[in-house]
């Protein structure tokens, strides 16, 4: 590994900030179970050693790691060497006896390589002496897949049972558990399984906090841009469309959705080509891959007294800049039921208030603020929609807002400027002629 060059003050600052940002995640994640699924192509790539280092690092931090590996390219290579033809039904390999021999050979190669690398300490580092025990075993019972599309799948199987206690025991002992996509039947037969299915079923059965797929795919993309998050519903809708998703990704996604329904809170898709992808995904808020979760990450709800600190933190910088009118903590406490807050991953990232003027059938949207790191992502707009819906619900016919600088934002969202004299009397009485805010109205 390259030595860290921390020569400039900026680099030092970034380093410190990075570690501080990671701390809450380390605290929240350690002692939890993580299933890391490695595509077979990842194991052969030159980036693999970096991934092994990161896995060792996570293990040393107290993460309970289960590594599931794939081996499709390795199987292909051995089949080609031996001139054995492959047959597929519905995209799934039919495993006859000859093919099964190749599968076992591939599994042996891949698992030895992973075991060897995982036992490698970090040379010339304080981790050089760290011992990472890897254990594997007959944790999976399989059943034959049977007949698909009129074809007997022979030794291609599906997971029947997972020996959860045995895996847990190994994790309790501090081992990294390595699982190959092979399963055994009670009668002693061996079955060739899909690593995606194994990873997802193990994650559900072991109540993993996360399932992470590392492949050399670039993650999920939409219009060439990385899809940052996707909800289970969206993924299912995507899977229903027959076109546009590569076969392999479809397989990953189907299993990710399964895991999500099975209670795994977050499933991540990462590209192995990016150095440190695992660490960047786990220890930063933005991540570098695609994260699938049940609920969408942002929620809007009514504010409570407990949110006052967060709301103040959001609006104070805007008050200092003269964009919002100053509100004291006491005022905020008195008005708290007029506020809504937007949460992102348990962090309050936005707020807004609705001040009703029932006599005029109008409401004021006030104190709209979005955390600087989350701006230009449509959160302000979402808050506006909530305020509009709320105003409609309590029978208001019009919404207005006062602003000194962001008039265009309101105009783009259907507001029109109007004179101060149009404001409700009570509001006019409070109007600050020094601030000279502009007034914008919208019919609901």
Least separation, in Å, of the C-beta of 265 and ligand ARG? 8
A 10 A CB-CB count for 225 gives 7
HEC states along the chain? CCCCCCCCHHHHHHHHHHHHHHHHHHHHHCCCEEEEEECHHHHHCCCHHHHHHHHHHHHHCCCEEEEEECCHHHHHHHHHHCCCCCCEECCEECECHHHHHHHHHHHHHHHHHHHHHHCCCCCCCCCCCCCCCEECCCCEEEEECCEECCEECECEEEEEEECHHHHHHHHHCCCEEEECCEEECCCCCEEECCHHHHHHHHHHHCCCCEEEEEECCCCCEECCEECCEEEHHHHHHHHHCCCCCCHHHHHHHHHHHHHHHCCCCEEEEEECCCCCHHHHHHHCCCCCCEEEECCCCEEEEECCHHHHHHHHHHHHHHHHCCCCCCCCHHHHHHHHHHEEEEEECCEEEEEEEEEEEHHHCEEEEEEEEECHHHCCCCHHHHHHHHHHHHHHHCCCCEEEEEECCCHHHHHHCCCEEECHHHCCHHHHHHCCCCCCCEEEEEEC
Cα 276 to Cα 25, 57, 289, 399: the distances in Å are 16, 11, 12, 48
| Of 163-171, 197-205, 287-295, 389-397: span binding ligand ARG (CB under 6 A) | 287-295
Least separation, in Å, of the C-beta of 227 and ligand ARG? 8
Least separation, in Å, of the C-beta of 28 and ligand ARG? 9
| Of 13-21, 34-42, 277-285, 426-434: span binding ligand ARG (CB under 6 A) | 277-285
Asked whether position 208 contacts ligand ARG by CB under 6 A, the answer is: no
| Of 145-153, 286-294, 331-339, 390-398: span binding ligand ARG (CB under 6 A) | 286-294
| Of 2-10, 288-296, 298-306, 308-316: span binding ligand ARG (CB under 6 A) | 288-296
Please work out the total of residues on this chain that contact ligand ARG, with binding judged by CB under 6 A: 12
Mask for 308-327, x = binds ligand ARG (CB under 6 A): --------------------
Asked whether position 54 contacts ligand ARG by CB under 6 A, the answer is: no
Asked whether position 291 contacts ligand ARG by CB under 6 A, the answer is: yes
Binding residue for ligand ARG (CB under 6 A) from 50, 181, 289, 380? 289
Least separation, in Å, of the C-beta of 210 and ligand ARG? 7
Asked whether position 214 contacts ligand ARG by CB under 6 A, the answer is: no
| Of 107-115, 285-293, 346-354, 409-417: span binding ligand ARG (CB under 6 A) | 285-293
Residue nearest to ligand ARG (CB): 287
Binding residue for ligand ARG (CB under 6 A) from 228, 275, 360, 398? 228
Residue nearer to ligand ARG on the CB measure, 298 or 307:
298
Least separation, in Å, of the C-beta of 152 and ligand ARG? 41
Residue nearer to ligand ARG on the CB measure, 190 or 208:
208
Asked whether position 290 contacts ligand ARG by CB under 6 A, the answer is: yes
Residue nearer to ligand ARG on the CB measure, 194 or 290:
290
Mask for 5-44, x = binds ligand ARG (CB under 6 A): --------------------x-------------------
Contacts of 347 (CB under 8 A, 6+ apart): 285, 371
Binding residue for ligand ARG (CB under 6 A) from 93, 170, 266, 338? 266
Asked whether position 374 contacts ligand ARG by CB under 6 A, the answer is: no
Given the rule CB under 6 A, which residues bind ligand ARG? 25, 228-229, 266, 281-282, 284-285, 287, 289-291
């Amino acid at each position: 590994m390259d030595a860290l060059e921390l020569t400039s003050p900026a680099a030092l600052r970034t380093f410190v900030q990075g570690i501080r940002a990671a701390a809450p995640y380390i605290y929240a994640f350690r002692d939890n179970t993580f299933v890391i699924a490695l595509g077979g192509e990842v194991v052969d790539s030159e980036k693999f050693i970096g991934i092994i280092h990161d896995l060792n690092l996570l293990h040393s931090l107290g993460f309970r790691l289960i590594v599931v590996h794939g081996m499709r390219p390795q199987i292909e290579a051995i089949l080609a060497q031996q001139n054995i033809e492959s047959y597929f039904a519905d995209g799934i390999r039919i495993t006859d006896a000859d093919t099964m021999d190749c599968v076992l050979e591939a599994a042996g190669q891949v698992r030895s390589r992973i075991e060897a690398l995982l036992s490698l300490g970090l040379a010339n580092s304080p981790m050089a002496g760290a011992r990472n025990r890897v254990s594997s075993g007959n944790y999976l019972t399989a059943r034959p897949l049977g007949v698909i599309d009129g074809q007997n799948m022979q030794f291609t199987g599906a997971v029947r049972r997972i020996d959860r206690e045995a895996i847990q025991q190994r994790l309790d002992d501090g081992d990294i558990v390595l699982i190959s996509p092979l399963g055994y039947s009670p009668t002693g037969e061996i079955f060739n399984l899909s690593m995606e299915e194994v990873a997802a079923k193990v994650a559900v059965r072991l109540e993993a906090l996360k399932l992470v797929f590392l492949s050399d795919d670039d993650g999920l993309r939409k219009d060439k841009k990385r899809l940052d998050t996707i909800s289970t519903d969206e993924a299912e809708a995507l899977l229903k469309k027959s076109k546009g998703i590569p076969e392999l990704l479809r397989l990953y996604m189907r299993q990710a959705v399964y895991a999500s329904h099975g209670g795994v809170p977050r499933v991540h898709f990462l590209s192995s080509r990016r150095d440190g992808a695992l660490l960047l995904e786990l220890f930063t808020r933005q991540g570098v891959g695609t994260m699938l979760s049940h609920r969408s990450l942002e929620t809007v709800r009514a504010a409570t007294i407990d949110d006052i600190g967060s709301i103040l933190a959001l609006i104070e910088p805007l008050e200092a800049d003269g964009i919002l009118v100053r509100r004291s903590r006491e005022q905020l406490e008195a008005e708290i039921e007029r506020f809504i807050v937007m949460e992102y991953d348990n962090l309050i990232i936005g707020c807004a208030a609705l001040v009703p003027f029932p006599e005029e059938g109008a409401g004021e949207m006030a104190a709209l603020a979005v955390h600087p790191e989350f701006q230009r992502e449509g959160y302000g707009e979402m808050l506006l929609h909530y305020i509009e819906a709320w105003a409609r619900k309590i029978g208001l016919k019009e919404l207005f807002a006062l602003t000194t600088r962001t008039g265009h934002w309101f105009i783009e969202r259907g507001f029109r400027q109007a004179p101060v004299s149009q404001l409700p009397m009570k509001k006019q009485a409070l109007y600050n002629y020094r601030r000279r805010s502009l007034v914008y109205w919208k019919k609901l």
